[in-house]
Amino acid sequence: MSENLRRVVKDGLWDQNVVLSQMLALCPAMAVTTSGTNGLGMGLATTAVLVAANMLVAMIRHTVSSQVRIPVFVVLIATLVTVVDMAMNAWLHDLYKVLGLFIALIVCNCAILGRAEAFAVKSSVLAAVVDGLAMGLGFTGALTAIGLIRELLGAGTLFAQASNLLGPSFAFLEMQIPDYGGALLMILPPGGFAVLGFLLAGKRTLERRLQARADKAAGRAVGVTA
Amino acid sequence: MNSATRTVKPLVDKVASPHAHGGNTVTRTMFRVQLALLPATACGFWLFGWQAFFLWLLTILSCLGFEALALKMMGRGRIRRSLGDGSALLTGWLLAMSLPPWAPWWVAVVGGFIAIIAGKQVFGGVGQNVFNPAMVARVALLVSFPLPLTQWVTPLPLMTLPAPGFVDSLHVFLTSLPPPDAMASASLLGFSKTELARGIDLLHALGGAPAPLVSWLGARPGSLGESASLLILVGGVYLLGKGIITWHTPLAVLLGLALPAAIGHAVDPARYLSVSAHLLSGAAMLGAFFIATDYVTSPNTGAGQVLFGVGVGLLTWVIRSYGGYPEGMAFAVLLMNALTPVIDRFIKPRILGRDRRGRPLTIPESTA
């Protein structure tokens, strides 16, 4: 894997994480993350759309003039979302009932049009697909993390109803803390905002510490050579 | 230099104002507020026993602990000095005053976390918070754990026979047992809301209440800050006398609550509680004198404080009368906290040397 692609992957998963760094797509990140399973399902559905949209946009970027690119992208994305929506309705019906409207709303998820505009329209097909996958998985990771924390604090369970999404063989993921009443607030919208806020603060603190450590190491190395 | 534009030679060059200090400190103000809370708190301990004392103590310890933790994690020095200013202690104290006296221990710990970390330190610590930390915690606890936060007990004064002793109280506190059925009760606001909800009007409901619901002396179910409403009033008057709070906010809160209550009760006594029930129940007194008057989260000007106070009182009455929750003081305070920046934007204090529109005042001709 070339250096560029490695950079793309790292950006998508961590450095430019859709939710935790770009602060995009906060509507689904707040609305559906009442459990880890919902977050995972929403994230994977968005990833599928994101990869396909990035690929198609990169393929047609030379034929579509820049004046009409936005309507074309929107039509592409809307088509892909409809496909995912119908597919989930057919094969993951229980999860579809939970996520419901939010699957259709992927069409106006700013992250997807954002990646098409910011990356895919300027990149090769391979790089666009890798970017879509990395961004999508970063999004999935953030949504699953928010969902798991809210679910754990709010209901005392982890991956409740995971078998709806992943099939009966993944029922072992479902855990529950015995005798825990749950803090209802975490399931409600304020809990989502609070968890996101603490995650953002945590990520920034972590990055600052890592940077400080890297600076220190670099300084020492310079000191040794000088 | 003519007399109309005299300038005064500065006493000390190149030192920013203020040049004189009244000697007052955050610590002293906090201490006086705590002193004002003391009578009502002591009365609450006597009414509700050791249980209430443990809850009070643990809430305060939890607030202090989380304050120290947050300061340490953020790398702020002077942890001991910041803790010593008494603001975290006061937050914990006010939170404990608003909780049911027999709430289990983890309510105190979680409440301390929410108040200090989520309500205060994430905004930047003392003086920076948008919302009143104690009320943030109160509301978050009420929404999160409805059951333990609405279990009230009948007061059994300490040293009387049926009151549980020290060891028994500690046992109940630490094992989070619900209060025994013989002691479980409802506060006036909760009781009237339930009775109304099941179609019994207040004229009949209050006649057959299980315990004396309105008592001027405070021997009735409720939180520490609710039962001894009159002692809270005494503390509030002390704060007024010491000049720590001004009359604007408390009077406006009480009027904003009393006026609609009086009108409602006069129109339909079967549907609306009386003025005295409203003023002596829930957090009315505590909120008016101790919570709505918080310097940080209320407007700066007298007129702004009157507006703020009327809003708190009115919203409290509306929530109590029409809302889903029996008590609305905490919600009302938080809503008005959110409006405080707007109030401060439109009602500004006059700048010294300028009129209300910001134009410089004309200096009268000197006779000298």
pLDDT attached to residue B210? 44
pLDDT attached to residue A55? 95
SS3 content of chain A, % helix, strand, coil (to 5): 80, 0, 20
pLDDT attached to residue B215? 55
pLDDT attached to residue B8? 59
pLDDT attached to residue B124? 85
What is the spatial distance between Cα B101 and Cα B242, in angstroms, rounded to a whole number?
A: 29
Buried-state track A144-175, b at ≥16 Cβ within 10 A, e below 16: bbbbbbbbbbbbbbbbbbbbbbbeeeeeebee
What is the spatial distance between Cα B317 and Cα B253, in angstroms, rounded to a whole number?
A: 10
In contact, A157 and A176? CB cutoff 8 Å: yes
Is residue B364 one of the residues assigned to a domain? no
Residue B144, chain A, CB below 8 Å: the answer is: yes
What is the spatial distance between Cα B293 and Cα B250, in angstroms, rounded to a whole number?
A: 7
3-state SS assignment for residue A179 = coil
- Once rounded to an integer, what is the mean pLDDT over residues B329-339? 94
Please state which of the ranges A152-161, B6-15, B37-46, B158-167 shows the lowest mean pLDDT: B6-15
pLDDT attached to residue B6? 56
Structure tokens at B292: 């709505």
DSSP of A119-147 = TGGGS-HHHHHHHHHHHHHHHHHHHHHHH
* β-strand pairing of B184-185 with B152-153: antiparallel
pLDDT attached to residue B78? 73
Residue A86, chain B, CB below 8 Å: the answer is: no
Per-residue pLDDT of B155-167, as tens digits, reads: 776 656 566 777 7
The ipTM of this complex is: 0.83
Is residue B268 one of the residues assigned to a domain? yes
- Once rounded to an integer, what is the mean pLDDT over residues B297-317? 94
Per-residue pLDDT of B107-140, as tens digits, reads: 999 999 999 999 999 998 888 899 999 999 999 9
Best mutation site among B74, B144, B147, B176 for testing chain A: the one with the most A CBs within 10 Å?
B144
Is residue B11 one of the residues assigned to a domain? no
B122–A183 CB contact, under 8 Å? no
Residue among B118, B122, B144 minimizing CB distance to A183: B144
Structure tokens at B195: 């009775």
Q: Which residues are paired to A157 by β-bridges?
A: A176
Residue A186, chain B, CB below 8 Å: the answer is: yes
Residue A188, chain B, CB below 8 Å: the answer is: yes
Please state which of the ranges A40-44, A222-226, B228-232, B244-248 shows the lowest mean pLDDT: A222-226
**Length of chain A as a residue count:** 226
pLDDT attached to residue B164? 72
B122–A184 CB contact, under 8 Å? no
Q: Find, among B193, B139, B187, the residue nearest to B322 by Cα.
A: B193
Is residue B352 one of the residues assigned to a domain? no
Q: Which residues are paired to B185 by β-bridges?
A: B152
A-chain residues within 8 Å CB-CB of B143? 184-185, 188
B110–A181 CB contact, under 8 Å? no
**Mean pLDDT of all residues in chain B?**
84
Question: Residue B3: which pLDDT band, with cuts at 50, 70 and 90?
Answer: very low
Residue B214, chain A, CB below 8 Å: the answer is: no
Is residue B2 one of the residues assigned to a domain? no
Residue A181, chain B, CB below 8 Å: the answer is: yes
What is the spatial distance between Cα B215 and Cα B212, in angstroms, rounded to a whole number?
A: 7
Nearest CA in chain B to A190: B140
Which contacts (CB < 8 Å, 24+ apart) does range B173-178 have? B173/B50, B173/B51, B173/B54, B173/B55, B173/B104, B173/B105, B174/B105, B176/B104, B176/B105, B176/B106, B176/B148, B177/B104, B178/B148, B178/B151
Residue among A183, A194, A197 minimizing CB distance to B145: A183
Which ranges of chain A have pLDDT less than 70?
Answer: 1, 221-226
Q: Which domain holds residue B194?
A: 26-343
Residue B106, chain A, CB below 8 Å: the answer is: no
What is the spatial distance between Cα B189 and Cα B203, in angstroms, rounded to a whole number?
A: 14
Structure tokens at B143: 């929404």
What is the spatial distance between Cα B338 and Cα B161, in angstroms, rounded to a whole number?
A: 47
B122–A188 CB contact, under 8 Å? no
What is the spatial distance between Cα B325 and Cα B32, in angstroms, rounded to a whole number?
A: 32
A197–B147 CB contact, under 8 Å? no
pLDDT attached to residue B159? 59
B-chain residues within 8 Å CB-CB of A201? 122
What is the spatial distance between Cα B191 and Cα B206, in angstroms, rounded to a whole number?
A: 9
B122–A185 CB contact, under 8 Å? no
Q: Find, among B272, B300, B290, B291, the residue nearest to B331 by Cα.
A: B291
A-chain residues within 8 Å CB-CB of B118? 194
What is the spatial distance between Cα A137 and Cα A129, in angstroms, rounded to a whole number?
A: 12
Residue B196, chain A, CB below 8 Å: the answer is: no
Cβ atoms within 10 Å, residue A3: 7
Is residue B18 one of the residues assigned to a domain? no
Q: How many CB pairs under 8 A join A and B?
A: 18
Nearest CA in chain A to B118: A194
Residue A185, chain B, CB below 8 Å: the answer is: yes
Residue among B122, B144, B147 minimizing CB distance to A185: B144
Q: Output B19 or A68, whichever has higher pLDDT.
A: A68
Is residue B357 one of the residues assigned to a domain? no
B144–A197 CB contact, under 8 Å? no
Structure tokens at B367: 């006779």
Is residue B12 one of the residues assigned to a domain? no
Q: Output B265 or A95, whichever has higher pLDDT.
A: B265
B140–A181 CB contact, under 8 Å? no
B143–A181 CB contact, under 8 Å? no
Per-residue pLDDT of B176-221, as tens digits, reads: 777 766 667 777 787 778 778 777 777 766 665 544 445 556 667 7
pLDDT attached to residue B368? 54
B-chain residues within 8 Å CB-CB of A197? 122
pLDDT attached to residue B271? 85
Total structural domains in chain B?
Answer: 1
